[in-house]
Structure 1
């Protein structure tokens, strides 16, 4: 009985950790068509950003989602589908924030995005930092009858409207329900075996 309860608690903690990490990922975003989304990227606070490139692998090398150099952005280097729709979240890149806001998202905006920063600071010479973000876009259909969920979990629930997102959320919710059941069984076992307390050892 003790062994069963111990395994149940270990299973609970392991699955809850995986469940949390699945929804806490900072490099994946899910939005509906017509919404705005902020793709986050950050340079060190003391860095001077000389060049900022937001690109997308399915665009040509000469086309950017957003291009910044020498304290100004250049719309002429943007792909035509992004012109007028992309701005810096922090116009003066306060605290190294080089995130961009993509407005009025369309299905064609889905995919991988790359943030590439060329910077310098007083302590070192020129450096390059690159990060990637992933954007999923779902069609905004039949949303009037359902209130919008908020937060990271809300984003995950909204992704249930497409096939792949729905599978991910269904698996996560299923794991959560399973862990709750395991916890309930573990508590019942603990009550029945109070004379020999359960000691949970983390290996």
Structure 2
């Protein structure tokens, strides 16, 4: 009985030795906590999430070593976006969308500056030219962003952009999620 009690206490001590009493962070996940120092309620994000309805303000965040995440105050990667490269033990973030900053990967779907090409369209999650993100309009106007997306698609050999979004990173606005096509539906 004494040995069994010792084993249980040793396991509890080992769990508490890890910050927040949690297990090691899994690759491809961002875990947000309701309290500083990785404690309290937790909310784990796996892969890109355009709409997060978290029941608390994030007070700390943990990610796998070597990874970085883009965390935004607005849905669909809008509002104030920050790139997080390390665990954050004392923050106050209203998180409404998040995604891996290196580009997300799902089996069969390329990420980052790559594209997914079909017979009649091509999708660019992070449009780039010469290795740099394509800037949208400095004022964020939708009509101007559509024109920038159309120019990007024409440069890639397509007729127009059938869909596009804007992404704000450090107060700069870039094109995101551009779907290039030959004609609109």
- What is the TM-score of this pair, normalised by structure 1? 0.25
Q: Which protein has the bigger strand share?
A: 2
Higher relative contact order (CA 8 A, sep 6+): 1
Who wins on radius of gyration, i.e. which is larger?
A: 1
Greater helix fraction, Structure 1 or Structure 2 = 1
